[in-house]
A and B are shown apart, each in its own frame.
Chain A
Amino acid sequence: MIDSASLLAVLPELILTAGGLVLMLVAAFGGDGTARVVNWLAVLTLAIAGVSISTSVANGPDAFDGLVRADAFSAFAKALIYGAAAAAILLAPRFFLTDGKERPEYPVLILFSSIGMGMMVSAGDLLTLYVGLEMQSLAAYVLASFMRQDGRSSEAGLKYFVLGSLASGILLYGSALLYGFTGTTAFDGIAVAMGDGVSNGELFGMVFLLAGLAFKMSAVPFHMWTPDVYEGAPTPVTTFFGSAPKVAAMGLAVRVAIEALGPAGLDWQQIVIFVALASIILGAVAAIGQTNIKRLMAYSSINNVGFALIGLACGTPAGVAATMSYMAIYVVMTIGAFACILQMRDAEGRPVESIASLSGLSQSRKGLAAAFAIFMFSMAGIPPLFGFWAKFLVFDAAVAANLTALAAFGIAASVIGAFYYLKIIKTIYFDEPAAAYEAKGGAVENVILTACAVVIVFGYLLNPALDAVSAAAAAALF
């Protein structure tokens, strides 16, 4: 039964839906000329939706008889998702302009994807989970092939679609098994049913469910699509893929693991530990040989997801808080790094993607080079940059949860990852200059870049706030 409290609890989604539909009509009737306006209105819609998160939490935590959860956890994840989505919209126009014209469908698709992501992180039921996931994915498939005249982009979209559908199928199969063996699709119901021992059927369902989720967050061994899609998709879309959907998938995985599969903690812990370490190592090793910066970022995201999963592997409130903090810091680093990558344009303004073209950037574009170096050192986890703190939190949670060996192994593997980040800094700072880039970046790019760099450099001052918010988010799940 639909009551007003439930509707208010999904207010952010309602706002995004209304905004998305209206803007789609504007785009359809107004044509490509409206792109600029639609962009800003889409950002505005995301901002309003972001503000309305507090209303939704006030009317939470349960809505629609537990189908949807509006708690501190979903609020934390949604704020991140909306912020990342807005950044992905703001960074796009300049990229699309170099290739001809802007298209207003881009922000609209991101809005629709954001609705799906919002539903993912506030799912309280396997069905909400699936609907949210598909909503996000469908928009993402279209986004990946957005440059339809570009062969690489179409290929990326198709690959993403085929593999994504497979993953959805696996996930759906897992959901069906869980439903069959527990008799319910509600997360808390599943947890109750698993409370008196985990049957084989439930175990299979859980494994399939987790496999589907691992695909969505591109964790090893379900990561294969990531490099191709990252490379083929238009760079603003890659920015988006690298940030918001990762948070949504991670948020969803955390919620499912804790709320629905909590009693099977010891079973999924092994899976998560394997996936985490495999992602860290593969992401680090495979990135070393890359020559395309976007492919490198794809492996970097696999690597980072592995670190974030260490927090989940702890299964403790501190671990969940660490995972969510990790994602928050990761999103800032990713958006900052992509804001740098988007500025990689040759003298005629065409985008370039090869790492070699960065050679000697520090002599032609000092500011850009410094920002790039900050994000790379930060991703490598070198203090005093904020990326170190993200890793610190997950390892600290692992040590507190008596997973010292996991922490030691993970942190040792992070040194492998440091190598390829250093390689980029080496290219920028040590190598002889290559052909110069365009003399200066766009204003919006520079603002976003600077904001991210400031957060990464002075992030430690945010620690008390981040600790409090992420702890509250984690507490909502236990």
Chain B
Amino acid sequence: MDGFPILSLMMAVPMAGAIACLFAGANAARWIALIATLVDLVLGILLWANFDQGGLQWQFQEYSPIFGRFAWALGIDGIALMLIILTVFLMPICIGASWEAINKRVGEYMAAFLFMEVLMIGVFAAQDIYLFYVMFEAGLIPMYLIIGIWGGADRIYASYKFFLYTLLGSVLMLIAMMWMVHEAGTTEIPALMAYDFDPHVQTWLFLAFFASFAVKMPMWPVHTWLPDAHVQAPTAGSVILAGVLLKMGGYGFIRFSLPMFPEASSQLAWLVWGLSMVAVVYTSLVALVQSDMKKLIAYSSVAHMAIVTVGLFAFNQAGIEGAMMVMLGHGLVSGALFLCVGVIYDRLHTREISRYGGLSINMPKYAVLFLLFTMASVGLPGTSNFVGEFLALMGIYQASSWVALVCTTGIILGAAYMLYLYRRIAYGEQVNADAAAMPDLSAREIALLAPIAAAVLWMGVYPESFLAPMRSDIRALEARLAPAAPAGDSHIKMGAAKPAGEAHHEEVSAHGEAH
């Protein structure tokens, strides 16, 4: 695949589909969108298959300086690859989820989704800092329209809030980018990642980027746009929002904040840790008392994303790998949970938890899949989120055992609110006759949920497939961070390996635990 512009092609296919959808009738638009996203999925798999693990850091690079001050520069490393795969995997599912639920202005809807896909791939593949910004910001347009046109009752408030919050967060990042480009004399992200900015300035630059990524992530206390946006967005909008858009914040930290400003990241790690600890505990508790299903899952997203941030700011391989795994796992699981909500919402048109109950009686297939995703969200071993959360918490433990202690409570609280949700929906008496009469999953709905279920189990059972492409990139990042990384308070001492036959066990028990 040398020299073949596969990344551009992956962006061109949905773009062409989006334009075609604008002019097509409702049914044609559905098929165009499905085919375009499936073609992109195939291209994504090809991309993964041709990715040289442990080879060059940046692969599939393209460069053409057609925009004057910035270039159409694309290229991916393992981290970007995994997020692109997540995107192209979720997109056909989103289209399928909208197949029947959306029946007004279908062409525009599909066009907005396909345009969104172009921008998401662009964000992860951009190698020019301004190209990244353009893609990052442009995503506001289709999402604003998706929430505003096809959203629920309060959609207009939610769309404004989403747009203005995110815009205000990102504009300061642009000023920081300009400063960096003038300082370093290049717009190329790989070059900027290796440039050592003055540590004093780094603090300001870090804060500017933080303003953007913290909102996108979203971190407490700038998370309030997320529950509104999720609740009002159509099902597929929530899936893509939780599945991919939130990951742009994490990707931003991993691609910009950490490698470009290592000293500032280390100095301000307390800020990230503090906000993350609050987020884990506070939003989990908030999730516990929600009566709206989508809101509950939205708050759980904030809590999970806080695990991502502590993992990233653990400054070590385990933490960052864990953060990436949580991002991928959460992308799948929260997407699937929103789909599960969508399934019953389509039948009863309410998101009130109390309107349901005992669904495992009349919807057994649904109950099984919903249980699987609930367990995955809780972080049950064998599912995707366990791997990520375990690694992330292990990583942060090396940096700060107190943060690890507080954040681990998130898992317990997560189990509490998810199991409580599941109990109220699937178990118990069938109090509402209309809910009791709902039919089980249709073939289309099974086809949407089954691939995610498979991926969740695959990621839980054999995470190596997903960790391997990222490993060398994360190692490089760890090396970049090493000089600045905070010392950590857990002082883990590994016992020196003794030749076989000696008093091995005593050695380990004496030194091998953390104090």
Contacts from A to B (Cβ < 8 Å) = 362-363, 377, 382-384, 388, 392, 395-396, 399-400, 404, 407-408, 411-412, 414-415, 418-419, 422, 425-426, 429-430, 460-461, 463-464, 466-467
Q: In whole angstroms, what is the CA distance A160 to B45 when docked?
A: 64
Q: How far is the CB of B305 from chain A (nearest CB, A)?
A: 23
- Selected from B66, B135, B172, B178, the residue in CB contact (under 8 A) with A396 is B178
Q: How far is the CB of A415 from chain B (nearest CB, A)?
A: 5
Q: In whole angstroms, what is the CA distance A419 to B149 when docked?
A: 17
Q: Contacts A460-B67, A466-B68; is A430 near B156 (CB within 8 Å)?
A: yes
Q: How far is the CB of A311 from chain B (nearest CB, A)?
A: 13
B137 within 8 A of partner (CB): yes
**Interface size, chain B (Cβ < 8 Å):** 33
List, sorted by A's number, 19 A–B pairs whose CB atoms are closer than 8 Å.
A362-B105, A382-B137, A382-B138, A383-B138, A396-B69, A399-B179, A399-B182, A404-B179, A411-B175, A414-B171, A415-B167, A415-B171, A419-B164, A422-B160, A430-B149, A430-B159, A460-B66, A461-B67, A466-B68
Cβ-defined contact, B164 with A384, below 8 A: no
Which residues of B in the span 21-52 have a Cβ within 8 Å of any Cβ on A? none
Cβ-defined contact, A418 with B164, below 8 A: yes
* Chain B residues closer than 8 Å to A425, beta-carbon distance: 144
Cβ-defined contact, A384 with B168, below 8 A: no
* Chain A residues closer than 8 Å to B66, beta-carbon distance: 460-461, 464
Cβ-defined contact, A412 with B168, below 8 A: yes
Q: In whole angstroms, what is the CA distance A385 to B138 when docked?
A: 8
Q: Which residue of B lies closest to A397 (CB)?
A: B178
- Selected from B68, B134, B172, B175, the residue in CB contact (under 8 A) with A384 is B134
Q: In whole angstroms, what is the CA distance A183 to B171 when docked?
A: 47
Q: Which residue of B lies closest to A463 (CB)?
A: B68
B133 within 8 A of partner (CB): yes
Q: Which residue of B lies closest to A408 (CB)?
A: B175
* Chain A residues closer than 8 Å to B68, beta-carbon distance: 460, 463-464, 466-467
Q: In whole angstroms, what is the CA distance A465 to B36 when docked?
A: 34
Cβ-defined contact, A412 with B67, below 8 A: no
Q: In whole angstroms, what is the CA distance A407 to B204 when docked?
A: 14
Main secondary structure, interface of B, reads helix
* Chain B residues closer than 8 Å to A418, beta-carbon distance: 163-164, 167
Q: In whole angstroms, what is the CA distance A186 to B207 when docked?
A: 48
Main secondary structure, interface of A, reads helix
- Selected from A377, A419, A430, A461, the residue in CB contact (under 8 A) with B141 is A377
B145 within 8 A of partner (CB): yes
* Chain B residues closer than 8 Å to A399, beta-carbon distance: 175, 178-179, 182
* Chain B residues closer than 8 Å to A466, beta-carbon distance: 68
Q: In whole angstroms, what is the CA distance A362 to B140 when docked?
A: 19
* Chain A residues closer than 8 Å to B168, beta-carbon distance: 412, 415
B216 within 8 A of partner (CB): no
Q: Contacts A399-B175, A422-B160; is A388 near B137 (CB within 8 Å)?
A: yes
- Selected from B134, B144, B155, B160, the residue in CB contact (under 8 A) with A383 is B134
Q: Contacts A382-B138, A426-B159, A463-B67; is A412 near B172 (CB within 8 Å)?
A: yes
* Chain A residues closer than 8 Å to B149, beta-carbon distance: 429-430
Cβ-defined contact, B137 with A383, below 8 A: yes
Candidate in B69, B130, B133 with the most chain A CB atoms within 10 angstroms? B69
B322 within 8 A of partner (CB): no
* Chain B residues closer than 8 Å to A377, beta-carbon distance: 141
Q: Contacts A429-B148, A430-B149, A460-B67; is A404 near B175 (CB within 8 Å)?
A: yes
Which residues of B in the span 138-173 have a Cβ within 8 Å of any Cβ on A? 138, 140-141, 144-145, 148-149, 155-156, 159-160, 163-164, 167-168, 171-172
Cβ-defined contact, A407 with B141, below 8 A: no
* Chain B residues closer than 8 Å to A404, beta-carbon distance: 175, 179
- Selected from A362, A388, A395, the residue in CB contact (under 8 A) with B175 is A395
